């Protein structure tokens, strides 16, 4: 049987023209070949027995990442913080919280990673600080300070109510400040794109406060780049300038940052947490993620794969067309050397593949797609072994439900799965309680494990540029099985449903194809018969 999608036998390839590193844009080329791995530091590896992961824990496991094929890691915030939002409430942009280690530990991590061909990216949380940051404490005591968005008492409603997202001053400054997320996260002032008589607190983007803040963020970036990190994942990148239709002023702001970076640190990258590469990459970012929010259909490309009636669902009722169309349109808009990054999960709203609905036997097919599609794959820690999403865990440091994605990394079958020597009740977040939980050690010993599959396909991607982000992609079928040709050489077919399906491929080379990875796919002439949860990567020669 043929799946529900259209057979696109006549579809043209979508070649992606690359530019040299010396391209006029000045954007770095290394990101094009990256395999990015997100490290949630407090849950990755604990070396001092506190129950909380640390920088040395990341350094000690770099050999695992190098073996896996990772070329860059994005480390969530390790800055000083009171942790009302797990470190996204910062009190010092150029420091390290003692629970993670020291700045020397950052330098050691960077050097050890570099020796293994791995780059290190940090989070740039430019939109807000903690209410305990010295900037905000100063702002509380100086009514003339415009580092944050403040409304004076005479600018507020006379009935004593507060405008949306404003928080009453904790004193002594009178009035209220604008927050970004939690009440403990005052929004840094980058100005408003337009003025409004009903909101007299608005300042233009070229006011003294916004100019000062842009300069401060450049100083923050410069500090860490001089220490050896290779760039930033930029938190809430779309939200800095307020009331900005079309993100025109926001784009100007990031374009200014990109121009400065190109002059001072030309090998560094900026990756947006925007969720709309078609907007953020032209604004100056080197890449952006498809996420569950923002962009086409408010996250539809990501959700159509993993979440809302997902294509990667056993019932086989989804479609890959939503993703494929959005990806093609985005690529045509951003050109090169911009990039689309595709995660399956993250520390935030993107939940793990092993989510309690999707079974472990379904996950290999997802990776076969994920690592052969011309996006930059972004692995969240533990996804390579199929770590589970765990419901019912206690809230930790403002996790607000997100703790289900933040359980400790599972390294081995020892106490606390090798994450920490601390007593179990002292762990940052409780471990997956399943005695059969997957571990790195256990899967390494099994040639048929998910971990070994991931390693092999990443190695294949590295050996053959046709499978990387630079290669062309020609889609023959966007239903079940998703079937596409990479670089006129590798045919990939993916069936995430439990039902067997088949598809005809208009390429006479298929009959003589060499299977590189094959999970039960049978070839008969120009027909592929793909079992439930089956997949194959075929070399057409």
> How much is the pLDDT for 360?
96
> How much is the pLDDT for 19?
30
The pLDDT tens digits of the residues spanning 59-93 come to: 999 999 999 999 999 999 999 999 999 999 999 99
> How much is the pLDDT for 336?
75
> How much is the pLDDT for 28?
63
> How much is the pLDDT for 10?
33
> How much is the pLDDT for 24?
34
> How much is the pLDDT for 27?
55
- The residues, ordered by sequence, that sit 6+ positions from 60 with a Cβ below 8 Å of its Cβ are 45, 47
Residue 430 per-residue DSSP state: P
Which residues of the chain fall short of a pLDDT of 50?
1-26
> How much is the pLDDT for 4?
32
Do residues 243 and 163 make contact, with C-beta atoms less than 8 angstroms apart? Answer: no
Q: How many helices (H) and strands (E) does the chain have?
A: 12, 19
User: What pTM did the predictor assign?
Assistant: 0.94
The pLDDT tens digits of the residues spanning 128-139 come to: 999 999 999 999
> How much is the pLDDT for 237?
97
> How much is the pLDDT for 337?
81
The pLDDT tens digits of the residues spanning 215-264 come to: 999 999 999 999 999 999 999 999 999 999 999 999 999 999 999 999 99
> How much is the pLDDT for 29?
81
Strands 376-380 and 36-39: parallel
Alpha carbon separation from 46 to 56, 241, 460 (Å, rounded): 8, 38, 32
């Amino acid at each position: 049987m043929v799946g529900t999608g259209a057979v696109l036998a006549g579809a043209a390839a979508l070649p992606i023209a690359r530019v040299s590193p010396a391209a006029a844009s000045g954007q770095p080329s290394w990101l094009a070949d990256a395999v990015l791995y997100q490290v949630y530091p407090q849950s990755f590896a604990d070396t001092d027995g506190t129950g909380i992961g640390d920088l040395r824990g990341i350094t000690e496991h770099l050999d695992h990442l190098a073996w896996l094929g990772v070329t860059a890691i994005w480390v969530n915030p390790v800055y000083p913080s009171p942790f009302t939002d797990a470190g996204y409430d910062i009190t010092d942009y150029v420091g390290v919280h003692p629970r993670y280690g020291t700045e020397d530990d950052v330098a050691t991590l960077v050097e050890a990673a570099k020796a293994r061909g791995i780059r290190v990216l940090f989070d740039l949380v430019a939109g807000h600080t903690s209410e305990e940051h010295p900037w905000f404490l100063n702002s509380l005591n100086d009514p003339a300070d415009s580092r944050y968005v403040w409304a004076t008492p005479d600018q507020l409603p006379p009935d004593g109510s507060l405008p949306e997202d404003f928080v009453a001053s904790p004193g002594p400054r009178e009035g209220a400040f604008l927050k970004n997320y939690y009440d403990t996260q005052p929004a840094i002032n980058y100005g408003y794109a337009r003025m409004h008589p009903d909101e007299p607190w608005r300042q233009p983007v070229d006011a003294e406060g916004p100019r000062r803040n842009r300069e401060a963020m450049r100083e923050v970036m410069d500090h860490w780049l001089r220490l050896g990190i290779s760039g930033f994942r930029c938190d809430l990148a779309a939200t800095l300038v307020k009331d900005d239709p079309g993100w025109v002023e926001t784009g100007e702001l990031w374009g200014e940052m990109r121009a400065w970076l190109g002059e001072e640190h030309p090998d560094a990258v900026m990756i947006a947490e925007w969720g709309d590469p078609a907007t953020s990459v032209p604004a100056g970012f080197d890449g952006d993620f498809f996420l569950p929010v923002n962009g086409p259909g408010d996250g539809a490309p990501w959700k159509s794969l993993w979440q809302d009636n997902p294509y990667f669902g056993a019932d086989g009722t989804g479609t890959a067309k939503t993703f494929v169309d959005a990806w093609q349109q985005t690529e045509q808009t951003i050109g090169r050397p911009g990039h689309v990054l595709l995660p399956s999960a993250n520390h935030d709203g993107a939940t793990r593949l092993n989510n309690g609905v999707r079974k472990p036997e379904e996950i290999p097919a997802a990776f076969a797609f994920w690592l052969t599609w011309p996006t930059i794959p972004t692995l969240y820690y533990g996804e390579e072994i199929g770590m589970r999403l765990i419901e019912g865990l206690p809230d930790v440091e403002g996790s607000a439900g997100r703790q289900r994605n933040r359980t400790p990394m599972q390294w081995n079958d020892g106490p606390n799965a090798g994450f920490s020597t601390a007593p179990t009740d002292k762990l940052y977040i409780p471990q997956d309680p399943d005695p059969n939980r997957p571990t790195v050690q256990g899967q390494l010993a099994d040639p048929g494990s998910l971990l070994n599959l991931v390693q092999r396909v990443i190695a294949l991607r590295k050996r053959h540029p046709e499978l990387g982000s630079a290669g062309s992609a020609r889609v023959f079928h966007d239903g079940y099985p998703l079937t596409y040709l990479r670089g006129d050489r590798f045919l990939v077919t993916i069936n995430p449903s439990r039902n067997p399906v088949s598809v005809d491929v208009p390429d006479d080379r298929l009959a003589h194809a060499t299977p590189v990875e094959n999970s039960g796919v049978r070839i008969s002439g120009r027909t592929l018969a793909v079992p439930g949860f089956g997949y194959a990567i075929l070399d057409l020669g």
